[in-house]
Structure 1
Amino acid sequence: MHDHPTTAAATDARDTVPGLEVRALHAGYPGRPVVQDVDLTLPAGQVAAIVGPNGCGKSTLLRAIARLHRPESGTVHADGADIWSLGRRQAAHRVALLPQSPRAPEAVTVAGLVRYGRHPHQGLLRQWSREDEQAVRDALEATGTADLAAERLDRLSGGQRQRCWLAMVLAQHTPVVLLDEPTSALDLGHAVDVLELVREVAATGRTVVMVQHDLAAAARYADTVIAMKNGRVIAQGVPRDTVDEALVKELYALDADILQAPGDASPVVVPRARRKDGQPASEPPSPSPADSAPPSLTAAPSAATE
């Protein structure tokens, strides 16, 4: 693993307006509250990971921040602007969201996909420009996908495709980037590549918020861990002060040991087997005489012996 990259831009940004500020946010569906009373203040230039069990409101929170799901109450400010007071196109200049299972047009090339990231910057009075083309080139270079620009997206591996989707988000050029499970369905090697890239994105001064099911990965790559349960934030802070045995038990009803990773001492979650003294927690029933008899005496006769 590599140390987290930092840049002067990221450091300077942390001393100014918060990259993302959420206050008293409530969101849900008719008769079903999902997100309840969420408060967040996240600096620019850092990665925050939202963790928690399935159905706890993680994705709904991201959609409310991205101006895709209107909250019942509360406010969302991205780079100082109230997202829900802006039009959709203006909001897309502030916040970009990569959903968990994005769909691309059939046969689209990598370069074509990344160009979609510039759509919010187009309009009647502003057509495709050198600035847009440069943003696409920069995004391809930043994600290591420039050599794939002419390839069809549907012919790439899962890890390559995810880097291309991230390039599209970077081309949108927003101060806040939201990623819903960016490493889902990736093997360990590709997952690490994507998480390292997420760190590099934050190092440019952006605020990155990702939903992450892997608690160990969240603790390793995020500056802030946000733990949700039943629609509420029950804990948030730096990983080494937040991820502990009690949190794992509260979130997942699971006993675990928390170790320290070599190098940066980030928390490593080691679940305990649900056994006692090396034996299953509940003993199986005693075998019947038939179960304990030699197979040749209990098996039904074969056709050859009838």
Structure 2
Amino acid sequence: MELRVEQLTAGYPGHLAVRGVDLVVPSGQVVAVVGPNGCGKSTLLRCMARLHQPDSGRVFAGDADVWRLNQRAAAHRIALLPQSPQAPEAVTVAGLVRYGRHPHQGLFRQWSPDDERAVDRALRATGVTALGDRRLDQLSGGQRQRCWLAMALAQETPVLLLDEPTSALDIGHAVEVLDLVREIAAEGRTIVMVLHDLAAAARYADAVVAMRDGRVVAAGPPREIVDAALVRELYGIEAEILTASADGAPVVVPGVRASRSAPAG
């Protein structure tokens, strides 16, 4: 399902966080949104997920404007994994993943074999079936993040939004999670993820959207837009851009700070 954002503007009292953003994510593609702290990345994602009311503009999932849908209908199209999700105390992995089926429950629609199959599929897809009876708080950071992804997958939406899915993970677990993101997209889901690591975004995303001060300053395939000038504009540092021998992805090697002051955030 295609995800489309048209002239989206959103903010908070006294602060405009997103300014006239246009974005198109084709079905089955991975888009990484990058930029300095405070540039509007997470606000943009929250607007897409119907968690923050935009001041103007529209968000379409397929042919539907998500802000014209009721919350349950929107949750059948778009799932969001936030930055720092909080689980109920002592919840098991299987119990956590079952929360992903909440949008499918209702007064006349209780837990069903279809729900159980969706949970099983999500556990298998993320490689955590064997952890089903374990408590979430007993797992490593990488394992926990896989479990949170399983919960989002169990919602069975065609669009998946991930806000800093590798935050606080070491490089090994980060690669593990991003490899999983690519596998999920290969099955046809549309994914938008916020990343702080520009090099990871360049390697794992089909397209990179770079934001600064609430606006999109560059967008396109990583090999076309990730260069020293973009790094300087976003982060205020000089950088050398190398090419990975394995796949040709841009590799960002940070250097000294540029002459102008760094972006706020």
Amino acid of the structure 2 residue aligned with 1:223: D
Give the whole-Å Cα distance in 2 for the aligned partners of 1:159 and 1:80. 35
Q: Which residue of 2 aligns with 1:180?
A: 163
- In the alignment, the residues of structure 2 paired with residue 184 and residue 29 of structure 1 have an alpha-carbon distance, to the nearest angstrom, of 24
Aligned-pair CA distance for 1:28: 0.5
1:189 and 1:263 map into 2 onto residues whose CA distance is 18
Contact 1:79 1:176 in 2 (8 A): no
* SS of residue in 1 equivalent to 2:53: coil
TM-score scaled by length of structure 2: 0.96
C-alpha displacement of 1:227: 0.1
State the shift of 1:79 in Å.
2.3
Q: Tell me what 2:262 maps to.
A: none
1:63 aligns with 2:46: yes
**Which letter does structure 2 place at the counterpart of 1:262?**
S
* 1:228 positional shift: 0.2
Moved more, 100-109 or 263-272: 263-272
Give the match for residue 224 of structure 2. Answer: 241
Gaps of 5+ in 1: 1-17, 276-306
Match of 1:215 in 2: 198
* Pair 1:24 & 2:12 matched: no
C-alpha contact (below 8 Å) 2:82/2:163 kept by paired residues: yes
TM-superposed CA distance for 1:31, in Å, is 2.7
Post-superposition shift, 1:274? Answer: 5.4
Deviation, structure 1 residue 82: 0.8
**Residue number among 56, 65, 73 corresponding to 1:90 in the alignment:** 73
Cα deviation, 1:258-304, whole Å, max 9, x if unaligned, reads 110012111000112459xxxxxxxxxxxxxxxxxxxxxxxxxxxxx
Q: Secondary structure at the match of 1:40?
A: strand
**Contact 1:142-1:167 within 8 A present in 2 as well:** yes
Counterpart in the other structure of 2:130: 147
Compute the displacement of 1:207 (Å). Answer: 0.7
Contact 1:79 1:175 in 2 (8 A): no
Q: Which has the larger radius of gyration?
A: 1
Distance 1:159 1:272 in 2: 30
Q: Single out whichever of 155-164 and 24-33 deviates more from structure 2.
A: 24-33
Measured in 2, the distance between the counterparts of 1:205 and 1:28 equals 32
1:287-306 matches, within 5 Å, as none
CA-to-aligned-CA distance 1:235-272 (integer Å, 9 cap, x gap): 00000001001100000011011110012111000112
Amino acid at match of 1:172: Q
Larger strand fraction of residues: 2
Structure 2 distance, partners of 1:202, 1:19, is 12
Residue 125 (structure 1) shift: 1.2
In 2, distance between residues paired with 1:272 and 1:164? 36
1:102 paired with 2:89, answer: no
1:168-225 per-position Cα deviation (integer Å, ceiling 9, x unaligned): 0000000110001000110111000000000011111111000000000000000010
List alignment gaps of at least 5 residues for structure 2.
259-265
Q: Which amino acid is the alignment partner of residue 153 of structure 2?
A: L
